[in-house]
Amino acid sequence: MRRQPHILVTTPGNRGAGAAARSALALILLMLGLTACGGYEFVANKLTNPIILQCPDYRVVADAASLVKFRDGPERDLVDVNYEGQITGVQLGCVSNIDKETRTGTMEVDVTLTFNATRGPANRDRNANFDYFVSVVDPKLGILDRQAYPLVVTFPGNKTRVQFASKPIILELPISAKWRVSYYQIFVGLKLTRDELGYNREKIKRSNK
């Protein structure tokens, strides 16, 4: 079986075991006056002229970039729309932690999405609930990791549209001669049912005619 890289996924609430450990080690070595030669070399190698890599490529899945949620029932007219959601942007922030000698290490990628949510005529509770996903794939589009995250939106007052951003999702990608940054691609989209996906594809097909 072909070996695949192990990708660590965290959110701001549980971020930090590895990063905190690295920071604590550096602080301890500094407090000790850097008496341990190996420790000094470790800290100097990480903090002096670090290797900076570009972020991986990303894509918004075209037929999963939006969602139209209808009220229960077979009707699919405009008056039957409960709410709509749309991905409007993706922002990546990347930090490399690469050993200069071995050229191996990790890259932390913070993935933040921005959205629009629109309240439809059939919406009664002023809420919208949907999920989005973040996937990491290899050059052959094989899925290395895929996680879904819930979103709960409230329409305040008389507002029928809100704009908001997700909390950052942190991906820790192994980097080596075999697994370079170009090995990875990040795909994002809204998690849809089969009917919702079919609705989007039909809509895209009509718009391309």
Output the pLDDT for position 208: 84
Structural domain includes residue 75: yes
Cβ atoms of residues 111 and 186 within 8 Å: yes
Q: How many domains does the chain have?
A: 1
- Which of 19-28, 38-47, 57-66 has the largest mean confidence? 57-66
Residue-range definition of the domain harbouring residue 73:
8-12+50-207
Q: Give residue-wise pLDDT tens across range 48-99.
A: 567 788 999 999 999 999 999 999 988 889 999 999 999 999 999 999 998 8
Interatomic CA distance for residues 86 and 23, integer angstroms = 38
According to DSSP, the β-strands at 185-190 and 161-165 are: unpaired
Q: Give residue-wise pLDDT tens across range 155-201.
A: 999 999 999 999 999 999 999 989 999 999 999 999 999 999 999 99
